């Protein structure tokens, strides 16, 4: 990269770039600054940039994890802390399960020539078409009356795994196709069975694909609201559900709610900065490669 | 013998978990939904106790003004949002497709809005649209203008929802079209440059036609997603004021949870699904037709020469 030369552009072009960046990031920065303000500062008419940052809102939201006594909290509302734990468990477990079984399925589809790539991408597209709202009624009915797993984390995890599988299978397929089959044949010569060949030879080679798939799955499970809202009970609520519950109230405590929103936004933001290339690969693989 | 057996079974073993999960938690629910749409069913009943009412839910919906209104709002929302985003996204990609320092940082910043939870996006915009503390009205007031009723007036609320969605999803189209632009054959561009095509001519006659296949897929993906938008609108306006922003997904979830009419909600879901299927197939058919036509033209050109 360092040897690459860059073209010189005129200043107006850079001004446009700056404007675009401000537009893209501005609302997020505003959420961050609001979450660091006291309500007095949020409501005051004075300039919104000069204020004393405080972490009080975060203390209020995360009060059950505090190891010290915060003087401004009279009553600790544990809803959010519990939801955060639920969200973490649900997102992580469903990501792991989706990756493991999605990976195996993708491998079988590629190596054993079950269906063509066209069939799989067509069915992925078909599954992508189904809005979560469409799944709402049947999933609620089945989970409540037949499986009786409503209100449990396992129930929510099951929906998320199913929702993410088509996309994961499809994206991993495009990576597995690129693994030369000779490598596996060599492993077989050396006495490795199909399972061993898969786990020790193929998996390490498709790490970038796994990363992309993992981020997308985690993101869906972490951000999803509608189905979690229908399935969760008091003890298995996820963060998006608690956020929506607290804004339907008449009086919104903007400082605290922005702090919870920020906490919900932090993992995806971290992923974006760490693995933007994988994310872009995952996004473009669909359209550009076909 | 045993090894041969194991080998033959392997693909099935590898596929089984995925197939099982998808059958249980995706295909079965969809079938269930189709069945439920013929029932008069409320959430306190088991499905077996619900009364079979045939097509009553479907016909009832067609005569329901509120449903027709929200069907129309959904289509209007998707059309407005997708065309704005396509124009802006492709335009920005054409503009920024240059060899500049920091392009990767730029792309990283642009995907942030898409990665953040829709609930949080709704939250941020709701704060910015706030009548008294929101930044928009504050700026307007300090400049001496009248504050705008962003979320409390029907047509402004629709515009506000559109703006938030454009903010969140334009980067998606931007990134896909940029990827398409950068994978175009350099030779075509060079030939055009040597023939003296202006920048504008290059875009209209070379870049856009070559990007077309990618653009169509992008359009399709975005269109499908536009019909799925729900959380942002739920947080911003919850469908109101009136029915001005009540898109179909939102109406389905409200019919199920507030009005407790599961059968009707299922019938509504079916309408939405049918609409999406038609759109997707239309797009595919169009794509195939265009491909066939270019293939025919190319063949004709070859035969002539």
CATH, residue A219: 1.10.3720.10
pLDDT band at residue A70, thresholds of 50, 70 and 90? low
Going A170 to A176 to A181 to A186, the CA torsion angle's sign is negative
Q: B252, A20: Cβ pair inside 8 Å?
A: no
Is B305 a residue whose pLDDT tops 50? yes
Over residues A79-90, the mean pLDDT reads: 85
What residues form DSSP beta bridges with B52?
Answer: B39
Question: What per-residue confidence (pLDDT) applies to B1?
Answer: 40
Over residues B200-204, the mean pLDDT reads: 79
Please give the angle made by the CA atoms of A127, A236 and A56, to the nearest 5 degrees: 110
Distance of alpha carbon A59 from alpha carbon B72, whole angstroms = 45
- Residue A48 shares a structural domain with residue A134: no
Is A61 a residue whose pLDDT tops 80? no
In a domain, A283, yes or no: yes
Q: B92, A20: Cβ pair inside 8 Å?
A: yes
Calculate the average pLDDT of chain A. 78
Which has the minimum average pLDDT: A1-5, A39-43, A127-131, A236-240? A1-5
What residues form DSSP beta bridges with B51?
Answer: B40
- Residue A90 shares a structural domain with residue A193: yes
Q: Which of residues 154-173 of A touch B (CB under 8 A)?
A: 158-159, 161-163, 165-166, 169
- Residue A160 shares a structural domain with residue A96: yes
pLDDT by residue (tens digit) across A110-145?
777 666 666 766 777 777 777 887 888 788 878 777
Q: Which residues of B touch A244 (CB under 8 A)?
A: 119, 231, 234-235
pLDDT by residue (tens digit) across B287-304?
778 778 878 888 888 877
Question: What per-residue confidence (pLDDT) applies to B83?
Answer: 92
In a domain, A67, yes or no: no
**0.95 exceeded by the pTM?**
no
pLDDT by residue (tens digit) across A226-267?
888 888 877 778 888 888 888 765 667 778 888 888 888 888
Q: A25, B109: Cβ pair inside 8 Å?
A: yes
In a domain, A71, yes or no: no
In a domain, A65, yes or no: no
In a domain, A200, yes or no: yes
Q: Who among B176, B183, B273 is closest to A283 (CB)?
A: B176
Question: What per-residue confidence (pLDDT) applies to B154?
Answer: 75
Over residues A95-108, the mean pLDDT reads: 87
Query: Exposed, middle or buried: residue B5 (CB in 10 Å: 0-12, 13-18, 19+)?
Result: exposed
- For residue B51, the surrounding DSSP H or E stretch is strand B51-52
Inform me whether the C-beta atom of residue B282 falls under 8 Å from chain A C-beta atoms.
Answer: no
Question: What per-residue confidence (pLDDT) applies to A114?
Answer: 65
Q: Which residues of B touch A163 (CB under 8 A)?
A: 25-26
Paired tokens of B266 = 């299922």
- Residue A27 shares a structural domain with residue A94: no
Which has the minimum average pLDDT: A28-32, A124-128, B120-124, B211-215? A124-128
In a domain, A62, yes or no: no
CA dist A48 → A56, A243, A255, B84, B135 (Å): 18, 24, 14, 31, 9
Which residue's entry shows tokens 């023939």?
Answer: B195
> CA A61: distance to chain centroid?
21
Most confident of A91-95, B41-45, B102-106, B208-212: A91-95
Which range of residues forms the domain containing residue A110?
79-289
Q: Which of residues 112-141 of A touch B (CB under 8 A)?
A: 112, 114, 125-141
- Residue A99 shares a structural domain with residue A47: no
Q: A223, B228: Cβ pair inside 8 Å?
A: no
Q: Regarding predicted confidence, which is higher, A48 or B41?
A: B41
Closest CA–CA distance from residue B304 to any residue of chain A (Å): 31
Which residue's entry shows tokens 């407005």?
Answer: B80
Q: A133, B115: Cβ pair inside 8 Å?
A: no
Running DSSP on this structure, what letter comes out for residue A233? Answer: -
- Residue A111 shares a structural domain with residue A47: no
Most confident of A22-36, A147-161, B205-219: A22-36
Question: What per-residue confidence (pLDDT) applies to A290?
Answer: 41
Q: B28, A226: Cβ pair inside 8 Å?
A: no
pLDDT by residue (tens digit) across B85-136?
999 988 888 888 777 777 778 888 888 888 888 888 888 888 888 877 777 8
> For the stretch B239-263, what's the b/e string if a residue is b when 16 or more beta carbons lie within 10 angstroms of its beta carbon?
bebebbbbbbbbbbbbbbeeeebbb
Q: Which residues of B touch A279 (CB under 8 A)?
A: 111, 115
- Residue A45 shares a structural domain with residue A182: no
Inform me whether the C-beta atom of residue A220 falls under 8 Å from chain B C-beta atoms.
Answer: no
Q: Which residues of A touch B14 (CB under 8 A)?
A: 104-105, 107-108, 198
DSSP SS3 for A70: coil
- Residue A49 shares a structural domain with residue A89: no
Paired tokens of A152 = 């449990």
Q: B116, A269: Cβ pair inside 8 Å?
A: yes
Running DSSP on this structure, what letter comes out for residue B146? Answer: P
Q: Regarding predicted confidence, which is higher, B4 or A284?
A: A284
Q: Who among A5, A131, A286 is closest to B221 (CB)?
A: A286
Q: What share of chain B in percent tops pLDDT 90?
A: 4
Is A57 a residue whose pLDDT tops 70? yes
Is A1 a residue whose pLDDT tops 50? no
The full set of domain ranges for chain B reads 65-271
In a domain, A94, yes or no: yes
Mutate: best of B2, B3, B11, partner A, most A CBs <10 A: B11
Question: What per-residue confidence (pLDDT) applies to A93?
Answer: 92
CA dist B121 → A65, B161, B169, B243 (Å): 26, 11, 11, 21
pLDDT band at residue B84, thresholds of 50, 70 and 90? very high
Q: Which residues of A touch B110 (CB under 8 A)?
A: 20, 24
Tell me, what's the ipTM?
0.82
- Residue A87 shares a structural domain with residue A133: yes
Question: What per-residue confidence (pLDDT) applies to B80?
Answer: 92
Nearest chain A residue to B264 by CA distance is A137
Distance of alpha carbon A206 from alpha carbon A194, whole angstroms = 17
Measured from the Cβ of residue B110, the count of other Cβ atoms closer than 10 Å reads 25
Q: Regarding predicted confidence, which is higher, B207 or B121?
A: B121
Question: What per-residue confidence (pLDDT) applies to B7?
Answer: 64
Is A94 a residue whose pLDDT tops 80? yes
Which residues lie below 8 Å from residue A259, measured CB to CB, with a gap of 6+? A35, A57, A58, A60, A61
Which has the minimum average pLDDT: A116-130, A201-215, B64-78, B240-254? A116-130
Alpha helix locations (H) across chain A? 11-35, 39-43, 56-61, 79-111, 117-129, 132-141, 153-176, 181-189, 194-196, 203-205, 207-223, 226-231, 239-247, 254-284
Which residues lie below 8 Å from residue B291, measured CB to CB, with a gap of 6+? none
Most confident of A51-55, A245-249, A251-255, B176-180: B176-180
Which residues lie below 8 Å from residue A3, measured CB to CB, with a gap of 6+? none
Calculate the average pLDDT of chain B. 81
Query: Exposed, middle or buried: residue A152 (CB in 10 Å: 0-12, 13-18, 19+)?
Result: middle
Is A15 a residue whose pLDDT tops 80? yes
In a domain, A1, yes or no: no
Which residues lie below 8 Å from residue B75, measured CB to CB, with a gap of 6+? none
Running DSSP on this structure, what letter comes out for residue B52? Answer: E
Q: Does domain B65-271 have CATH number 3.40.1710.10?
A: no
Distance of alpha carbon B268 from alpha carbon B230, whole angstroms = 15
Distance of alpha carbon A187 from alpha carbon A6, whole angstroms = 45
Contact A67, A56 (CB under 8 A): no
Contact B250, B234 (CB under 8 A): yes
pLDDT band at residue A7, thresholds of 50, 70 and 90? low
Inform me whether the C-beta atom of residue B256 falls under 8 Å from chain A C-beta atoms.
Answer: yes
Count structural domains, chain A. 2
């Amino acid at each position: 990269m360092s040897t690459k030369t860059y073209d010189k552009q005129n200043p107006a072009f850079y001004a446009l770039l700056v404007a675009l960046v401000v537009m893209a990031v501005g609302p997020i920065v505003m959420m961050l600054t609001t979450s660091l303000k006291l309500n007095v500062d949020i409501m005051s008419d004075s300039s919104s940039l000069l204020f004393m940052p405080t972490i009080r809102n975060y203390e209020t939201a995360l009060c059950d994890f505090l190891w010290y006594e915060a003087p401004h909290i009279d009553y600790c509302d544990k809803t959010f802390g519990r939801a955060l734990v639920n969200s973490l468990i649900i997102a992580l477990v469903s990501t792991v399960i989706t990756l493991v079984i999605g990976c195996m399925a993708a491998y079988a589809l590629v190596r054993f020539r079950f269906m063509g790539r066209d069939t799989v991408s067509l069915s992925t597209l078909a599954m992508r078409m189904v809005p979560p709202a469409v799944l709402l009624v049947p999933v609620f009915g089945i989970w409540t009356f037949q499986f009786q797993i409503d209100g449990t984390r396992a129930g929510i995890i099951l929906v998320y795994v199913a929702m993410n599988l088509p996309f994961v299978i499809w994206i991993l397929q495009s990576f597995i196709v690129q693994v030369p089959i000779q490598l596996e044949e060599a492993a077989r010569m050396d006495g490795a069975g199909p399972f061993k060949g898969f786990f020790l030879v193929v998996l390490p080679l498709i790490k970038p694909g796994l990363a992309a798939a993992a981020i997308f799955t985690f993101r869906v499970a972490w951000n999803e609201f509608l189905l979690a809202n229908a399935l969760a009970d008091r003890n298995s609520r996820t963060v998006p559900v608690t956020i929506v519950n607290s804004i339907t109230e008449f009086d919104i405590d903007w400082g605290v709610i922005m702090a919870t929103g920020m906490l919900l936004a932090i993992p995806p933001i971290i992923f974006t900065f760490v693995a933007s290339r994988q994310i872009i690969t995952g996004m473009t693989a669909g359209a550009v490669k076909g | 013998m045993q090894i041969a057996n194991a080998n033959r079974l392997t693909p099935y073993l590898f596929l089984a978990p995925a197939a099982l999960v998808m059958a249980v938690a995706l295909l079965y629910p969809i079938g269930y939904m189709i069945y439920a749409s013929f029932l008069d069913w409320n959430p306190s009943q088991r499905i077996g106790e619900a009364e079979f009412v045939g097509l009553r839910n479907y016909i009832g919906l067609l005569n329901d003004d509120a449903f027709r209104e929200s069907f129309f709002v959904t289509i209007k929302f998707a059309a407005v949002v997708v065309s704005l985003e396509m124009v802006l996204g492709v335009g920005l990609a054409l503009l920024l497709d240059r060899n500049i320092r920091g392009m990767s940082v730029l792309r990283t910043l642009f995907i942030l809005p898409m990665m953040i939870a829709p609930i949080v996006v709704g939250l941020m915009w709701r704060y910015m649209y706030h009548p008294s503390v929101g930044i928009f009205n504050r700026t307007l007031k300090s400049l001496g203008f009248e504050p705008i009723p962003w979320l409390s007036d029907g047509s402004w609320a629709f515009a506000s929802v559109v703006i938030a969605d454009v903010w969140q999803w334009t980067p998606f189209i931007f990134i896909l079209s940029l990827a398409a632009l950068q994978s175009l054959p350099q030779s075509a561009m060079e030939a055009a440059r040597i023939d003296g095509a202006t920048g504008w001519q290059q875009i209209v006659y070379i870049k856009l036609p070559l990007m077309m296949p990618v653009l169509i897929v992008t359009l399709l993906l975005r269109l499908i997603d536009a019909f799925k938008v729900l959380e942002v609108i739920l947080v911003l306006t919850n469908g109101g004021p009136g029915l001005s922003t009540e898109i179909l997904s939102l109406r389905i979830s409200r019919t199920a949870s507030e009005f407790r009419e599961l059968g009707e909600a299922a019938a509504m879901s079916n309408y939405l699904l049918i609409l999406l299927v038609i759109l997707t197939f239309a797009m595919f058919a169009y794509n195939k037709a265009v491909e066939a036509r270019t293939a025919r033209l190319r063949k004709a050109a070859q035969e002539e020469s």
